[in-house]
Chain A
Amino acid sequence: AQSVTQPDIHIPVSDGASLELRCNYSYGATPYLFWYVQSPGQGLQLLLKYFSGDTLVQGIKGFEAEFKRSQSSFTLRKPSVHWSDAAEYFCAVGDSYGGATNKLIFGTGTLLAVQP
């Protein structure tokens, strides 16, 4: 069965510091991978997605993610975080054989706290 693991529940970083959020997935076929961000009281917003090709993908708000098949990982990075990046970040995997359903499996989320 598909699964997504985000090993870090909470990550504190200083304003202006670099950020790295980890995500590992379990899936037998080609994964379709997503990172979403959820600000307090809001829904989820798509940051970026990986389907194929270049293993480094660029997203919105200066985020990027690196896909490593050998490690079953999809790591989210940002060179310099801003206080407005404080939010919860969710990694998700989509089923390439999902047919019409387009169901996503989400991780438990990583809460990013940005310290002044």
Chain B
Amino acid sequence: EADIYQTPRYLVIGTGKKITLECSQTMGHDKMYWYQQDPGMELHLIHYSYGVNSTEKGDLSSESTVSRIRTEHFPLTLESARPSHTSQYLCASSESRQSYNSPLHFGNGTRLTVT
């Protein structure tokens, strides 16, 4: 029933490889987010977007980059993966009206392991 899709679900990759985590939503939401989640830790916002051609860094510094060329698509890229990037990455979206109280809709996440 999810309207926000993340691929791949699991990714194991070697150090130094370039990777792109995909996120797409079919709800027409303007706002999209990337959170990083580690076991026993809170979710940390690493990137967000108000809309097309708008991207901002979140509260947690990340070496990843994002792009927003289309409303429905918000991919995250790591140019050179390192073991410290091993984590779960969650994509989310929300409506633009009354931004502070619109709930976030989450994808199922991508669990990334860098060896």
Please tell me which one of the listed residues B2, B35, B41, B48 contacts residue A101 in the complex, with CB atoms under 8 A apart: B48
Across the interface, do B42 and A46 meet the contact criterion of CB distance under 8 Å? no
Residues in A with CB closer than 8 Å to B50 are 100-101
CB 8 Å contact bits of B1-29 with A (1 = contact, 0 = none): 01010100100000000000000000000
Q: Determine whether A69 belongs to the interface, using a CB cutoff of 8 Å to chain B.
A: no
Across the interface, do A44 and B106 meet the contact criterion of CB distance under 8 Å? yes
Which has the most chain A C-beta neighbours within 10 Å: B2, B43, B100? Answer: B100
Please tell me which one of the listed residues B2, B9, B58, B103 contacts residue A34 in the complex, with CB atoms under 8 A apart: B103
Across the interface, do A99 and B99 meet the contact criterion of CB distance under 8 Å? yes
Given known pairs A43-B109, A44-B90, the reply for A102 and B43 (CB within 8 Å) is: no
Residues in B with CB closer than 8 Å to A28 are none
Which residue of chain A is the closest to B54 with respect to CB atoms? A100
Given known pairs A90-B43, A103-B48, the reply for A43 and B100 (CB within 8 Å) is: no
Q: Determine whether A41 belongs to the interface, using a CB cutoff of 8 Å to chain B.
A: yes
Which residue of chain B is the closest to A108 with respect to CB atoms? B42
Within 8 A of A (CB), among B57-109: 58-59, 90, 92, 94, 96, 99-109
Which has the most chain B C-beta neighbours within 10 Å: A4, A32, A96? Answer: A32
Given known pairs A90-B43, A106-B43, A108-B40, the reply for A42 and B108 (CB within 8 Å) is: yes
- The residues of A with any CB-CB pair to B shorter than 8 Å are 4, 9, 32, 34, 36, 41-46, 49, 51, 90, 94-109
Besides A101-B31, A103-B33, 18 new A-B residue pairs in contact (Cβ under 8 A), listed by A number? A9-B40, A32-B101, A34-B103, A36-B106, A42-B108, A42-B109, A43-B6, A43-B108, A44-B43, A44-B106, A98-B99, A100-B31, A100-B50, A102-B102, A103-B45, A104-B104, A107-B42, A109-B42
